[in-house]
């Protein structure tokens, strides 16, 4: 049975004091209110990862995610953070391939394949993002375009390795815009991606793969989205910066 996951991506937000307050609020609410069969992940800026990891460790269904990592284990890459560094402080997850990384930093499917490899080598669970822009959405073949992101970045993995990856579908046209894909649109893409995975790795692996929705998901639309057969949770942006709303999303199952 695949995991239900709600992961927050704080992006470049929160001072240290604000981050600690937000994390403490989320931890306390999750302990008291969220079913243990729902995994809640906090994706914070690098600066706070070690501290937040200590906050969530006592809660069995919580984890901390880095928002990125470099594709090399070490070297002269000023300002970058490696997967072994994340492993050394106990981080369990890393968000890879977010549309903002692809758009602003030019990350390619080939580069992301390397990042996935090194994340898995260091025991990190990649939350691998895929999705299409508005222009791509309005053109023919948008389903195949998103599927190609999985093919080029993930399909070199063995079935066992692939089984350790979480997928996050994020329609770029719905990120931070207040526009959300309808539940039917989201379900269409999630079901298509699951079929794409099944064609490569078989039904069992596909059925066990958690596919999250990430695109202006909030406490109002989460129940309808999460009720869809192939949507297993969310990668939450803006709403993850508000403890009550974020936890309410986690309770939407």
DSSP assignments along 126-169, one per residue:
EEEEE---HHHHHSTTHHHHHHHHHHHHHTTS-HHHHTT-EEEE
Low-confidence stretches of the chain (pLDDT beneath 70): none
Determine which one of 170, 190, 196, 219 is catalytic. Answer: 170
- Could you report the per-residue pLDDT of 211-220, keeping only the tens digit for each? 999 988 999 9
What tokens appear for 250 in the block?
Answer: 């986690």
pLDDT for 221 equals: 94
pLDDT for 215 equals: 84
- Could you report the per-residue pLDDT of 3-16, keeping only the tens digit for each? 999 999 999 999 99
Residue listed under structure tokens 């200590």:
54
pTM for this structure? 0.97
Cross-strand pairs, 208: none
Contact (Cβ atoms closer than 8 angstroms) between residue 94 and residue 62: no
Is 170 known to be catalytic? yes
Q: Phi/psi at 247 (nearest 5 deg)?
A: -70, -35
At the topology level, CATH places domain 4-250 in TIM Barrel (3.20.20)
Determine which one of 55, 70, 98, 190 is catalytic. Answer: 98
Domain ranges of the chain: 4-250
Contacts of 177 (CB under 8 A, 6+ apart): 216
């Amino acid at each position: 049975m695949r995991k239900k996951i709600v992961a927050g991506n704080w992006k470049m937000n929160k001072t240290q004091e604000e981050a600690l307050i937000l994390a403490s609020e989320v931890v306390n609410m999750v302990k008291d209110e969220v079913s243990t069969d729902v995994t809640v992940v906090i994706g914070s800026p690098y600066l706070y990862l070690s501290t937040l990891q200590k906050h969530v460790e006592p809660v069995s269904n919580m984890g901390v995610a880095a928002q990125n990592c470099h594709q090399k284990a070490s070297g002269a890459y000023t300002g970058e953070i490696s997967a072994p560094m994340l492993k050394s402080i106990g981080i369990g997850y890393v968000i890879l391939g977010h549309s903002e990384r692809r758009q602003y930093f030019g990350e390619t499917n080939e580069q992301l394949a390397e990042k996935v490899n090194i994340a898995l080598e260091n025991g990190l669970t990649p939350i691998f993002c895929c999705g299409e822009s508005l222009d791509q959405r309005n053109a023919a073949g948008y389903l195949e375009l998103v599927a190609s992101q999985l093919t080029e970045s993930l399909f070199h993995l063995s079935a066992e390795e692939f089984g350790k990856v979480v997928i996050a579908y994020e329609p770029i046209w719905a990120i931070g815009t207040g526009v959300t894909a309808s539940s039917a649109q989201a379900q269409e893409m999630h079901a298509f991606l699951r079929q794409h995975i099944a064609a490569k790795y078989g039904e069992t692996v596909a059925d066990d793969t958690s596919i999250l929705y990430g695109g202006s998901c909030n406490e109002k639309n989460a129940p309808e989205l999460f009720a869809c057969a192939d949507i297993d949770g969310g990668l939450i942006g803006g709403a993850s910066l508000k403890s009550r709303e974020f936890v309410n999303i986690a309770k939407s199952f």
